[in-house]
Structure 1
């Protein structure tokens, strides 16, 4: 399938100013074209050039925005460094060290919309869902965990109404050769409230971010806050690209995952069509 014949499906949530679905929401200050002319003229005057805002065509300069935002807002990829300083006794990769080859491949969508908020997704859950798809994971595939939580984006409930991955489930996927795992939920683990309640009840430190901390044993990246997985025409062999922005020594970076599907694809699209994009080695 040539790229110019593909339908592109955006699997991301962008940065917004102060959404209730972010505990540390971005702040975005917009500057219009007139304000842009003032700023550009001021910059030029600081360089010794006598320029006024009114000198710009129609008194308008360039629009831009000032942002105050963490790299874990919006759809983003967590680097191995996010989970800990080492992975299996080796230095953990920061987001600028993540191989680009990890960030493109054929996606497998595992549907866990039937799970209750706060539940964990176990190895058995993963195996059962893969069996239902009659699919065996292969190295380099990208696994997408579908919870349906993206439908709650824009509300406070987005932060609490989703199941999360277990530590053993995370390790199971990585041990199949998966290097990138995505979720359409706020977080990869259970909601903060569920983890806090379980820790207070049990005193067991393994209740705190177990899926994240599995990344101290197995090397992988996770994409959080994805969206539109229900728009994909099938559950397997979906080619996607999800390259994060490079932030020096960063624990994560914003990413805009995009799926490529054949124009007019149906649910029973021919398996392996993505091989024509990535080749047999993808």
Structure 2
């Protein structure tokens, strides 16, 4: 049995043994447990910020609240205890007529062989349904391979499953970190962790609008400098629960797609329910069918969350 996650809210002042200092207001920090002293929280703060030669740490207006963790460094998940892992489905179900992206066709589903008709082909008591779905690859929750952007890039059939299955999930819970006036997710927001080999998942909360007209306007996105940072950090996949990894309201340029896919970093768009996945410790899977000459297709994206979370 696990306890609820807690975070500390505080202002701070730090002085350094070799001179100088720094201050912060309204800082928030994940806690491994709720009964930490101010001194222990100060030590966690230093570890999280990666500071050296610290002399003194002073915290002010310290409050400890029950709140989901955001991925502070120095706060590791507890080890497991025998319960089963949890699977979190991060995909939107596909159904006839659904609109994923404005202007793209909705899927149609029609029977090829109905159950009633199949009874004439099989033994008594045996029946089957066979159906035909017609849809664009950009439907529901889908993955972009390099071929989606570049004619000489890998198509869906060429993707290495090691880059799609069981990736360490680094979830950035950003629902309180962007605004309609500042929709772009920048490199600095993603710079507090080691991301090499991971699936970086951007939880903006925008998926709550999926299927409504509001989903298409004012959506959060990854900035160009954010995309470059993730490539340099060595990530394998970037996912977002928004309309697009790029800002579709800034014209025809698509810097995030261009940068990520040129580097072989897969993109997954239209994720959902990322708030149910911890900041660290889960594994992410999003594997499309192996289709030659195709660059985008729906995936059943999911996170495997250890029982200890």
TM-score, reference length from structure 2: 0.65
Tell me how many residue pairs correspond in the alignment. Answer: 225
Between 1 and 2, higher relative CO (CA 8 Å, sep ≥ 6) is seen in 1
Q: Quick one: which of 88, 93, 97 aligns to 2:158?
A: 97
| CA shift for structure 1 position 61 | 2.7
Structure number having the greater helix percentage: 1
Could you list the per-position Cα deviations for residues 23-75 of structure 1 after superposition, in whole angstroms to 9, with x for gaps in the alignment?
A: 3221122578xx3342x47xxxxxxxxxx46x7535x7312322111122011
1:176 aligns to what? 233
Q: Quick one: which of 108, 111, 116 aligns to 2:179?
A: 116
Q: Quick one: which of 103, 114, 124 aligns to 1:57?
A: 124
- Pairing of 1:16-27 with structure 2 (within 5 A): 16-23=95-102, 24-27=105-108
| CA shift for structure 1 position 76 | 1.1
Change (3 A) 1:7 1:109: same
Paired residue secondary structure (2:188): helix
1:277 aligns to what? none
> Do the aligned partners of 2:169 and 2:281 also contact (CA within 8 Å) in 1?
yes
Q: Quick one: which of 66, 72, 75 aligns to 2:132?
A: 66
State whether structure 2 residue 110 is matched by structure 1 residue 29. yes
| CA shift for structure 1 position 7 | 1.3
Paired residue secondary structure (1:213): helix
Change (3 A) 1:171 1:2: farther
> Do the aligned partners of 2:183 and 2:218 also contact (CA within 8 Å) in 1?
no
> Do the aligned partners of 1:146 and 1:229 also contact (CA within 8 Å) in 2?
yes
> Do the aligned partners of 1:37 and 1:56 also contact (CA within 8 Å) in 2?
no
Determine the C-alpha separation between the residues in 2 that align with 1:221 and 1:8. Answer: 22
Could you list the per-position Cα deviations for residues 163-212 of structure 1 after superposition, in whole angstroms to 9, with x for gaps in the alignment?
A: 1112221121021110111111121112x3x223xxxxxxxxxx611211
Worse-superposed segment, 108-117 or 173-182? 108-117
> Do the aligned partners of 2:237 and 2:268 also contact (CA within 8 Å) in 1?
yes
Paired residue secondary structure (2:250): helix
> Do the aligned partners of 2:194 and 2:233 also contact (CA within 8 Å) in 1?
no
2:85 aligns to what? 6
Determine the C-alpha separation between the residues in 1 that align with 2:284 and 2:83. Answer: 15
| CA shift for structure 1 position 3 | 11
Q: Which is higher, the Rg of structure 1 or of structure 2?
A: 2
Change (3 A) 1:248 1:227: same
1:226 aligns to what? 271
The CA RMSD measured in Å over matched residues stands at 2.6
| CA shift for structure 1 position 253 | 2.3
2:254 aligns to what? 209
Structure 2: segments with no counterpart, 5+ residues: 1-79
Worse-superposed segment, 164-173 or 2-11? 2-11
1:81 aligns to what? 147
Could you list the per-position Cα deviations for residues 245-276 of structure 1 after superposition, in whole angstroms to 9, with x for gaps in the alignment?
A: 2111211222112211233x4xxx4xxxxxxx
Determine the C-alpha separation between the residues in 1 that align with 2:138 and 2:190. Answer: 26
Determine the C-alpha separation between the residues in 2 that align with 1:246 and 1:3. Answer: 36
State whether structure 2 residue 305 is matched by structure 1 residue 252. no
State whether structure 2 residue 283 is matched by structure 1 residue 239. yes
Structure number having the greater strand percentage: 2
State whether structure 2 residue 195 is matched by structure 1 residue 195. no
| CA shift for structure 1 position 16 | 1.4
> Do the aligned partners of 1:79 and 1:93 also contact (CA within 8 Å) in 2?
yes
> Do the aligned partners of 2:227 and 2:259 also contact (CA within 8 Å) in 1?
yes
Worse-superposed segment, 155-164 or 6-15? 155-164
